[in-house]
Amino acid sequence: MAKNKLGGRNLLFPMPVVLVGTMIDGRANFAPVAYVGSHDRKTVSIGVHRGHATAASILDDKEFSLNIPSVPMVRKVDFTGMKSGANYDKSELFEVFHGTLENTPMIEKCPVNLECKLTETIELNNRYVFMGEIVEAWTDDAFLTNGEVDLSRVDPLLFNINDAAYWRVSDKLGEAWDPGTTLEWEK
Ligand SMILES: Cc1cc2nc3c(=O)[nH]c(=O)nc-3n(C[C@H](O)[C@H](O)[C@H](O)COP(=O)(O)O)c2cc1C
C-alpha cells in the first residue's frame, strides 16, 4: 500500500466538544474546546489558547467545569466559540447550576457535567494545557441506562479539525475485551 506523508500533523480527531465553564467577574462564561484529553478515570486535560478569557479565569480560580453538549445544542455551542467572555456576556445563553466547587458554573441542558480542580498547568507554545481532577460528575435520569451514562442518549457533539466540521457518533459495535477473544493467538 502506498502511504501518503502528511507531515507532523496531529490527526487525533474527531474529538468530543466540551463547553468549558468558568466565572468571569461573577458571571458564568462558556467556551467550546475540542483539544480534550482523558487520562484515567479521574483526570482530564484541555488545551486552551493563552488569549482566551477562559485561560485567565482558570489560572485565577484553579477550577473549571466540562459540560458535554448534545448534537441539538450545536448552534449555541458554535456561537460561544465566536464570542469572548472578555468583551461579551455569555452568561444568559444557558440555564446554569452550581455543584460542589465555587467557580464551576455548569449547563443544565448538557447531558453530562464534570467539575474539575486544576492540578497542573503545562505551558505549550501559545496554549496552556490544564490538567484537572474530576471532583464530581453530574447527569440526569434521562441519560442513564441501568445506572450508567448511555452514549446513545447523550448524543455528544464531535469536532473534526481536518474538515473543520461537527460530527456525531453513530452505532455501537459491540462489547470491548470481547472480539479479541475469538482470534487465536499466534506467537
Ligand atoms: C468547535 C470549536 C472547538 C474549539 N476548540 C478550542 C480548543 O480546543 N482550544 C482553544 O483554545 N479554543 C478552542 N476554540 C475556540 C474558543 O472556543 C473561542 O475562541 C472562544 O470564543 C473563547 O472564548 P473565551 O474568550 O470566552 O474563553 C474552539 C471553538 C470551536 C467552535
Task: Report all structural domains of the chain as residue ranges with CATH numbers, in order of start.
Answer: 15-182 (2.30.110.10)
C-alpha gyration radius of the chain:
18
176 CA distance to ligand 1 middle (Å) = 32
pTM of the model: 0.97
Question: Residue 30: CB within 6 Å of ligand 1?
Answer: no
84 CA distance to ligand 1 middle (Å) = 9
Q: Write the pLDDT tens digit of every residue in 96-106.
A: 999 999 999 99
Average pLDDT for the chain? 96
User: In this structure, which amino acid lies at residue 157?
Assistant: L
**Strands 18-24, 63-68: parallel, antiparallel or unpaired by DSSP?**
antiparallel
Mean pLDDT of 131-157: 98
Dig out the grid coordinates for 61 from the structure.
480560580
CA angle 31, 34, 66 (to 5 degrees): 55
Question: Residue 94: CB within 6 Å of ligand 1?
Answer: no
Question: Residue 154: CB within 6 Å of ligand 1?
Answer: no
If one residue of 29, 52, 71 were mutated to test the ligand 1 pocket, choosing by the most ligand atoms within 8 A of its CB, it would be 52
Residue 187 has pLDDT above 70, yes or no: no
Residue 129 has pLDDT above 70, yes or no: yes
4 CA distance to ligand 1 middle (Å) = 30
Residue 147 has pLDDT above 90, yes or no: yes
Map 58-107 to HEC letters: HHHHCEEEEEECEHHHHHHHHHHCCCCCCCCCCCCCCCEECCCCCCCCEE
